[in-house]
Each structure stands twice: as structure tokens, then as C-alpha cells.
Amino acid sequence: MKVSNAGMLLLKAMLRDIGFDEAIKVISDQGRRFSPREFAYTLAWMTVNGVDAPYQLNEMDLSDLAVLLTVPRPPLKDDLYDFYEALTEDECDALVDELARSYQRAGLIDGFVVFFDNHTIPYYGGVPIGFVYHATRNMPIRGIHLAQLNNLNGNFILFKLVPSTTEFAGILIELIERMKRVLNITTPLILVVDREAEALPLFQELNRRRICFIVVITKNGERGDKIARYGFIDAPNVHLQKRYEKLQEKENGCAGRLYPEIFYCTVRARE
């Protein structure tokens, strides 16, 4: 038997299985033609199909999108822009938190090995915003930052869009503390960051907050002599898990007292 739109049916089942429908309920329904659920599934469909902007919906065949929805026709460009405008920052943060809990319940993330990164998102709209330095393009551009925490497998844990003037250390601390609260993490964690985070005040603040294990990744192997006093190692991902296990043993053997450590490892760029 031939089943049309089988991929969308599988996507719908997967989203329901991880608790997507329940997470969406944190967004208030303001009585529009479309519910937050319809908008959320439309955005999921856009992501899966590589649709970058809402205006593209007006020019596409959306027959398979209908499989995900409970309304006769899907939201289009103007509907999505109206939805975006009505969203509050608190609702967006609450949704990200609830999705993280859903991922944790589904076994997709655990929050014990955490990668932090900061990406630049170009902005082409008419609202005046600041400039940010884009490392890939090697030039300043109008844009904002996407600060994110990922797990060892690259799955999102938490993320937040922040202005170009946001201090790296501030948003890093905020996201880590938020993750520990949202996922109810009380055990030591491994934090993996790039060389943008190499700052003694940040290390001191992480230590003060009892974040016990820091691994700083740098792609520049020539900097090894400069930071050798901290212990310079080459380490694949599996090494991080072993370090975490040793740290757990250390915590259990010292009556709950935590001793922060700083380790550096080198990850060289592929040829």
C-alpha cells in the first residue's frame, strides 16, 4: 500500500513522542485564526524542508504540511509575522526551557557534558541594531548573537538570542545556571568552550559557582607553550566522558566538597 506524505507522518509521530505538543502549551493562545500549535508545526516543517523565511511559504506547495495541522489551510507569511510580533521574551524562554525538559525525558540530552558556542546571525531588516564581528567573513556585519549550549552529540540543550553588545562571560554563566535549574542538575559537569572564553575572571566566576570542570578547546596548537602550566592535552570526546566519571568519583570521595579544575585540550582543524 502506498502512503503519501509518509515522512510528515513520521515527523508528527516523533514530535509527539518527545513531548512537542505539551511544550507548545507555554505559548499563550490569543484567539488568532491559528493556534500556537499550528505555528509551531509550521516552523518545524520549515526547518525540515530548509525554508529560511516565511515569505517563501506563499510560493510553495504546502500539501504535505497539511498532514501536521488540524486546520484547512496552513499559516502563510503575514500570519507568521503577526505571531512573531505577539510573542514575548518570557514565552520564548519558557518554550526553550520546556523543550529542554522534553529532550531530557526522551533521553536525547543529559546536561553533563556541555558545549557552549556563540554564533553570529546576520540581520537584513530595517530596525537599527549594532554591528558584530563575523569570524568566517572576517568583517563586521549588522547582526545578533545566538548563544547556545549543546550536549556531546551536538543536540541543543538551551539557546538564547542576544544583542551584539552582550558580554560572553555573562551569557555563558546565565545559560549554565539556567540549564542546571531547568534540568535539575546537581552533579559536576564538563564545560567545553573555545578560546573566546579564555579569561581569568570568567574562570574565577565559574569556580565560585562550583562549576567544577572546564575544558577549553583551541584550534591553535602553537599556543601550547603559553598555557602548558595548566596541563596541555590532546583529547577526543571520549576523554571528556572519562574525565566526568573521575570527577564524580572525586566528589563522592570527599563528602560533597567540589574542587574545580581547568584543563586545556587541543583540537586541530582538519586538513
Q: What is the pLDDT of residues 233-256, one digit of tens each?
A: 333 344 445 555 555 555 444 333
Same domain, 157 and 78: no
pTM of the model: 0.74
- 100 occurs within a structural domain: no
Same domain, 165 and 260: yes
Same domain, 48 and 153: no
Domain count for the chain: 2
Domain boundary among 55, 90, 125: 90
Weakest mean pLDDT among 166-175, 204-213, 246-255, 257-266: 257-266
Same domain, 196 and 134: yes
Domain boundary among 33, 56, 90: 90
| Residue 52 domain boundaries | 6-90
Same domain, 115 and 32: no
Domain boundary among 24, 59, 90: 90
- Mapping DSSP onto H, E and C, the string for the chain reads CCCCCHHHHHHHHHHHHCCHHHHHCCCCCCCCCCCHHHHHHHHHHHHHCCCCCHHHHHHCCCCCHHHHCCCCCCCCHHHHHHHHHHCCHHHHHHHHHHHHHHHHHCCCCCCCEEEEEEEEEECCCCCCCCEEEECCCCEEEEEEEEEEEECCCCCEEEEEEECCCCCHHHHHHHHHHHHHHHCCCCCCCEEEEEHHHCCHHHHHHHHHCCCCEEEEEECCHHHHCCCHHHCEEECCHHHHHHHHHHHHHHHHCCCCCCCCEEEEEECCCCC
Same domain, 202 and 132: yes
Question: The domain spanning residue 150 has which CATH number?
Answer: 3.30.420
Same domain, 60 and 148: no
Same domain, 121 and 243: yes
Same domain, 136 and 259: yes
Q: How confident is the model at residue 185 (pLDDT cuts 50, 70, 90)?
A: confident
Same domain, 142 and 86: no
Same domain, 52 and 175: no
Same domain, 66 and 195: no
